[in-house]
Structure 1
């Protein structure tokens, strides 16, 4: 079953108010603090690092990265979400390069970014292993990859896309730490670690 066109159509809906959904929009200073600490601990501060925010959606993480002083590209395949991200960028007075990209098949040349980060994306992918390989490919040697993922069975079995599509997605109902570590390592990433926060996990790895 080819599910990617259906998933893309679901996300690329201009009437879909992504930020209004509690689990999507960031309405918590605690989550903002979590991501700020994770990013600065992983990437450091004081350097104009080039970062790709994959699955940027309406731009929360990309705009936070820009606020922290990084050179940010925010990528998503839903044009309607990127339009909202651009409006938020204008209001914030920040600068992010927002572009249309497929997480599993990037158009960027190899070794372009110091880091690839992603929030609330992996569970929606038909082929997360391919995505991880692509993210590793566009990361410079010594660079980092950071993503989040719900823990296994922390989601209902039919949220958003429904069960028929969901059964085609490897991480639709979350993931186990061991699965993520294996996929990151298969993508060529080393020093892989998983941090668990309630029902969410942060996974990080380094490009050799």
Structure 2
């Protein structure tokens, strides 16, 4: 790694020990965990899919996917996040693969997937458009790109860099559904947007910003 990726990795590495304290990160409450389980089952129905969890964090969604019968590969830039994800799988008796690396360019070689999942990562990336192209290219024909995203602050509000070298990130503070849809359309053949801000169980309480999922097919 080099440039801003070093400071980004250091930031999330330091954040790892407390990351799961957020209700929608750790999914410790039964209601929140169940809400995400139901949503994932609707977005990725069935079982036996090869799923790439790009920016997997501590692996909470990866666990739900594996419990549903999918084969999961998780990638995260922060080694401490990956360690926690591996520990969750071991504790649950689940099988999965977790790699340390740039989630915008997953170090998975020529592997192709039935689905690529990314939650709340695009705002952290130096080049989110390149990441979208990369993820779409990792999908098998008919595969699904599942993006859970949002706009965390009012449009036009100044956003402070969250780590050294992250000044001027293109989508700092999040990205609206309309803007992300526009970025995705050249890369996919169909997509659906599902608003999520009203589902308080997903977030462990009410939220006032924009939250949504986009499910796109290549």
Match of 1:205 in 2: 216
Distance 1:144 1:65 in 2: 14
Match of 2:141 in 1: 141
Alignment of 1:58-97 (within 5 A): 58-97=58-97
Give the TM-score normalised by the residue count of structure 1: 0.85
Q: Secondary structure at the match of 1:193?
A: strand
Alpha-carbon displacement from aligned partner over 1:46-102 (angstroms, at most 9, x marks no partner)? x31100111111110111100011011111111111111111111111111111221
Asked if 1:49 corresponds to 2:49, the answer is yes
Instruction: Please state how far the C-alpha of 1:110 moved relative to its aligned partner.
Output: 4.9
Number of corresponding residues:
203
Match of 1:12 in 2: 13
Distance 1:202 1:137 in 2: 20
Distance 1:28 1:172 in 2: 29
Distance 2:76 2:152 in 1: 25
Instruction: Please state how far the C-alpha of 1:15 moved relative to its aligned partner.
Output: 6.7
Distance 1:177 1:28 in 2: 28
Distance 1:62 1:126 in 2: 24
Give the TM-score normalised by the residue count of structure 2: 0.82
Sort the Cα spacing of 1:20 and 1:159 in 2 relative to 1 into closer, same or farther, 3 A. farther
Sort the Cα spacing of 1:29 and 1:160 in 2 relative to 1 into closer, same or farther, 3 A. farther
Match of 2:39 in 1: 38
Distance 1:16 1:159 in 2: 23
Q: Secondary structure at the match of 1:62?
A: helix
Instruction: Please state how far the C-alpha of 1:131 moved relative to its aligned partner.
Output: 0.9
Sort the Cα spacing of 1:66 and 1:159 in 2 relative to 1 into closer, same or farther, 3 A. farther
Instruction: Please state how far the C-alpha of 1:157 moved relative to its aligned partner.
Output: 5.2
Contact 1:12 1:78 in 2 (8 A): yes
Alignment of 1:97-136 (within 5 A): 97-110=97-110, 112-136=112-136
Instruction: Please state how far the C-alpha of 1:103 moved relative to its aligned partner.
Output: 1.9
The structure, 1 or 2, with the larger RCO (C-alpha pairs under 8 Å, 6+ apart) is 2
* Structure 1: gaps spanning 5 or more residues: none
Contact 2:53 2:118 in 1 (8 A): yes
Give me the CA root mean square deviation.
2.5
